[in-house]
Amino acid sequence: MTANGLPLAPGAPDIVDVVALGESMVTFVPSGPGRLADVPSFQRGIGGAESNVACVLAAAGHSARWVSRVGADGFGEHLVEAIGAYGVDVASVPRDPARPTGIYFRTAGDRAGDDHEVAYYRAGSAASAMTVENIDLDAVRAGRVLHLSGITAALSDGCRALLRELTASRAGRPLVSFDVNHRPGLWRTADGPRVLLELARGADIVFVGDDEARELWGLRGARAVREALPEPEIVVVKQGGSGATAFGGASGGPREDVTDPAAFVPALNVDVVAAVGAGDAFAAGFLSATLRGLPVRDRLRHGHLTAAAALTVPGDLAAPCSRDHADRLAALDDAAWETLRLGPGWTEADARAAEEVRTP
C-alpha cells in the first residue's frame, strides 16, 4: 500500500479519506435561556472545529481520523468515546496524565447576539501541549485530506510550530485544508494575522469568512482575498447569508494565477435554530464533494446543504442528509436552488418519504 506515492512502513496507519487535527472540548449548554450566572443546569456535549468536521464526514460515509490529545480524566474519555461513536478513528488520541481536558460553558442563544456568553477553561489543556514531537505524524499524514484550523495555531507555541510543519511544502503530503477560524480571544500576542496568513498560504484549500479577512488583513471583497492568497489551489470566501465564492479548482492551472474565475453560490433560505457549527459543517460538505471529485459549484452547494443541516438543529453537530438526497438538491437549476427553503427536520424528510412509500 502507498500513501500519496510513498511506501508505507510496516505497521503504518491505515489511509483514510480525511484526518482532522485539533482540540476538542466538552461543552456545557444551558437547559434553558438566561445568563450563565442564572442557569441552574447544563447539558453535556462536545465541541471542536476539527473534530466536528471529522464527525460530519464520517456520518456522510467517509473514513475519518481525529488526532489530538486529551487529559487522563473523565472528560477526555467522554470526548474520545463520543467522537468515536460517529465512526471516527480515535486511536491516535493519547491521554496526558499531567494536563486536563478543556471544557467550556456557553449560553443557549445565538453566538451573534450581544447577550451571548462563553466561559472557556482550556488554558494548559492537554491539546494545547501538542507538538511535532508528541503527535503521531504518520497518522496525521495518512489521509487523502488533512484538515487544520487557525484555532490550533493560537493555543501555544508548540501548536503553532506543529501547524507550520504540517503546512510546509514537502513531497507526498496530503491535500491540506485550512479553515482560518480566527478566535481573537485565544491569541495572546499580536502576530495572529501574520501567522494565519502564513499558514493559509501554505495550504491547498482555504476557508475564510469575508468578515475575518477584513478584521485580520483589512481585505474587502472575495477577489482581494484571493489576491492575498495566490498559492492555495482553492480559496473559499464565506459571505454570510449571501453565499460563498470559490476561486480555483477548475483548470488545474498554476497557483500563482489569481485571475482564475470565481464560482459563487448563494446561501440557502434556512429556518435557523442555532448558528453554532455551521462553518465546520460547510467545510465538511465542501470537502466531501472534493473527495468525490465534484465540480467547484457543486462543492459549494454541498457545503451550503451540510451547513443547513447544522443550522436547523440546536447543537454543534448534525447528521447530514443522505448522499442521494444532497445530490438531487445540488443538481437543482439556479432558480429552484434560490427558492429552496429548509427547516428543522429537512434532512430526514427524504427517508420519511421513502418509508411511507414502502409502508402498505
d(CA 181, CA 190): 16
d(CA 64, CA 277): 18
Q: How far is CA 193 from CA 129, 211, 223, 247, 317, in A?
A: 22, 13, 19, 21, 28
Selecting among 179, 280, 298, 316, the annotated active-site residue is 280
Chain length of the chain? 360
Whether 288 and 302 have beta carbons less than 8 Å apart is answered as yes
**280 flagged as catalytic:** yes
- For 115, other C-beta atoms within 10 Å of its C-beta total 10
Strands 143-149 and 16-21, sheet pairing: parallel
| Catalytic sites, residue numbers | 280
